[in-house]
Amino acid sequence: MDLSAILKELSDRASRYSINLNGQIDLDLRKDPLHGGTALVYRGILRRDGAKIAVKTFRFGPAGDTDSLKRILREVHLWSKLRHGNVVRMLGISTEFGSTISIVSDWLEMGDAYTYVQNKENDPRPLLMDIANGLHYLHSHTLGPIFHGDLKGLNVLVSIDRRGLLSDFGYSALTRSTFSMTVDAPRGGSLPWMAPELLDDYSQTSEGDAWAFGMTVLELFTRLPPFHGKTHEVNIIHDLLQKKLPARPTEESTCSRMTNAWWNMCSSCWNYEPLLRPTAATIVEIIKKIMHETPIYLSSNVMSSQGVPREITTSPSSSTITPPALRPSLHRVLRAHTGKVLSVAFSPDDKLVVSGAADNTIRLWNAQTGDKVGGPLRGHTNWVRSVAFSPDGKWIVSGSYDTSICLWDVPTGRMVGSPQIEHDAKVLSVAFSPDGKRVVSSSADNTLCLWDVRNGVQAGHHLIGHTSAVQSVTFSPDGQRLVSGSHDKTICLWDAHTNLQLGSPLQGHSGQVFSVAFSPDGRRIVSASDDKTLRLWDANTGIQMSSLTGHTASVVSVAFSPDSRWIVSGSVDASVCLWDARTNVQVGSPLKGRAGLVRSVAFSFSGKQIASGTENGSLCLWDVNPQVL
């Protein structure tokens, strides 16, 4: 077949896999593409949802045999189904940009990990935890192990919430068929990161990935490629064959971050006997232990009075923990609702607070003066269970026991369009996506539903997996995932684009889960339950990290501070509690506002205020010491 026939055949076959994106992409030609040895990477927009995308266009076309085409499609189809918080999402392929193939994935504004760590303020250690989690996901995939084949800082991208995501994986499988997922790597990966056994006969393996991970650790700690002093590849090969490994870097060169534990892990990854190297699962556990026990130094803008970096010890069992003395004070008590306040939220500019209540109304308040802003927003015919501002602060979404979801214009206080009714029972929770284009709702009908804000149309099918009422739902900070908590005592993660459940439900609570929240850095999930506890979970692995105890009755609402450092919880024991999210220790005494059982809590976007909604229809506004936050 000639090239045009090959590309047509490829696009036709891609349509059968639902990964053909021809006619669905607008390239941004105002900006120069990124150049590599084998590909150009353009920015673009996916027309169907306006998402920013990366379009990697290869400089050469595919081979023309049918087997090669089938391999490409199988592999890209597999990649398009991978869903993990530390793996770049593959969207599909296109054949309309030049006489070649383009691979389409999400665009990540923060760039690659190697460039990211050139700013010494950016600590590489959380990224390395992310890289290990992504690698473990690939190696343990249910469809069979997927090997990266070219792991290095340039092939790890950083999301807006500073999470590391693996990209350009599956290198050698495509090399054997037609093209490489990487931009300009030699066969078998990039030499300074390559395991010595791969020099003669390259075949991708988990052991090869482990070696490359150790080199990536060194790279991100030192902000330099491995073997950076070697000017020619032959010198690197010579050192590898002579078992001359990189020397341990100085404390100064790694900002004192390369501890003995990190260096020992690197050394274990560089074992010349491949089978003695740690697996990805083992690496994950090693890093968890290191980060659990090792002091984490804050960026240089957080200093002690002597100019020494303040140290936060992450081990909750440490007897030396002394949580900062937060001293929130009651600022105002706001009264106007005639029924219990079930939901509160701050506007993104912190000027307004919105409340939803059992009197079927929504109210807006001035966050500083406590004055009512306009009259009550009326339209629901039953309790208003949940309210949320859009990211631009122009709209409010509300969910009610009347089974409807309503959108409101903030400046006018008027309902936008008609109430949306798709649930078969009470709506219990609503939230906007970070880009403001979608709303998610959860219901007593055991389901979740996604909505397109622009046209009010349901986005895909209901999300089904819980076996009882879904009390709480929210988006991850990057908008890629959802987390939900249910009366069935579980927490579920969902793909926000495919509406599919990710992995198995998270189990640990012994009572109904009333509230869930992502940390703003996207790394953790906090849940609140009828069992009187809060629990922290690793957002990528689903592993329970800790249980926070202190309340004496059901904990019904929970939220993170904007810097992910603090957690606030509200309980029907009539108290609001603050927690240090790093040490898992309760900070100070519970806050009592004399307004009855607490039904809802929220942090302001500046972190300087907390709002709580109570059983007697009041809102309490608390001022938080801004010097500590």
Binned at pLDDT 50, 70 and 90, residue 172 comes out as very low
- CATH class assigned to 331-624: mainly beta
Give the chain's end-to-end CA distance (angstroms, integer): 64
Average pLDDT over residues 95-124: 87
**CB contact at 8 A, 196 and 207:** no
Distance from C-alpha of 271 to C-alpha of 210, rounded to nearest angstrom: 10
Report in angstroms the alpha-carbon separations of 514 from 354, 427, 479, 548.
Answer: 20, 13, 22, 15
Let me know if the fold of 111-173+189-249+258-293 is the same as that of 331-624: no
Query: What are the residues whose beta carbons fall under 8 Å from the beta carbon of 135, sequence distance 6 or more?
Result: 148, 151, 166, 209, 213, 280, 283
**Second CATH level (architecture) for the domain 3-106:** 2-Layer Sandwich (3.30)
pLDDT tens digits for range 518-562? 999 999 999 999 999 999 998 988 888 889 999 999 999 999 999
SS3 505: strand
Binned at pLDDT 50, 70 and 90, residue 171 comes out as very low
Distance from C-alpha of 587 to C-alpha of 325, rounded to nearest angstrom: 7
**CB contact at 8 A, 153 and 113:** yes
Query: What are the residues whose beta carbons fall under 8 Å from the beta carbon of 234, sequence distance 6 or more?
Result: none
Q: Can you give the pLDDT at residue 67?
A: 58
Distance from C-alpha of 288 to C-alpha of 279, rounded to nearest angstrom: 14
Average pLDDT over residues 329-333: 84
Q: Can you give the pLDDT at residue 305?
A: 32
Query: What are the residues whose beta carbons fall under 8 Å from the beta carbon of 19, sequence distance 6 or more?
Result: 73, 76, 77, 80, 91, 92, 93
Domain ranges across the chain: 3-106, 111-173+189-249+258-293, 331-624
Q: Is the pLDDT of residue 405 over 70?
A: yes
Cα pseudo-dihedral 299, 300, 302, 304, rounded to 10: 130
Q: Can you give the pLDDT at residue 189?
A: 60
Q: Can you give the pLDDT at residue 186?
A: 41
SS3 59: coil
Distance from C-alpha of 564 to C-alpha of 115, rounded to nearest angstrom: 24
pLDDT tens digits for range 347-359? 999 999 999 999 9
pLDDT tens digits for range 157-166? 998 778 899 9
Q: Is the pLDDT of residue 86 over 50?
A: yes
Average pLDDT over residues 290-301: 49
**CB contact at 8 A, 432 and 389:** yes
Distance from C-alpha of 369 to C-alpha of 367, rounded to nearest angstrom: 6
CATH code assigned to 111-173+189-249+258-293: 1.10.510.10
Q: Can you give the pLDDT at residue 318?
A: 32
Binned at pLDDT 50, 70 and 90, residue 260 comes out as very high
Residues in the chain: 629
